[in-house]
Amino acid sequence: MKRRLRRKHNRKKKRAEKELQEKMGMFDKLPDDCNACEKTFDKKSKSMVQSWNVVVREEEGIVRLYCPSCWDMAKKLIEEVKNG
């Protein structure tokens, strides 16, 4: 019984490591500026990293980066479309 549980745990661990590796590979594709307004993004700035939004499309391998002002504008447009 212990052996079966240990193997199951190892499979989950390997799967999690593989997913993390794939996501870290996508980090290299992170652009240096906003996709909408082309405002520059500083990867070393803690405030920018926490406030900017990243959209990842794993199937296409696309990573998009948006500044807070563009993100808010897009959310407002979506709400307007929803409300008619």
Structural domain including 12 reads 1-29
pLDDT tens-place string over residues 57-66 = 888 888 999 9
Close Cβ partners of 43 (under 8 Å, ≥ 6 residues apart): 30, 32, 49
Shared-domain flag, residues 56 and 77: yes
Does 15 share its domain with 50?
no
Q: What is the pLDDT of residues 40-78, one digit of tens each?
A: 999 899 999 999 999 988 888 889 999 999 999 999 999
pLDDT at 16 over 80: yes
Same domain? For 56 and 80 the reply is yes
Q: Looking at residue 64, what is its pLDDT?
A: 93
Same structural domain for residues 58 and 48?
A: yes
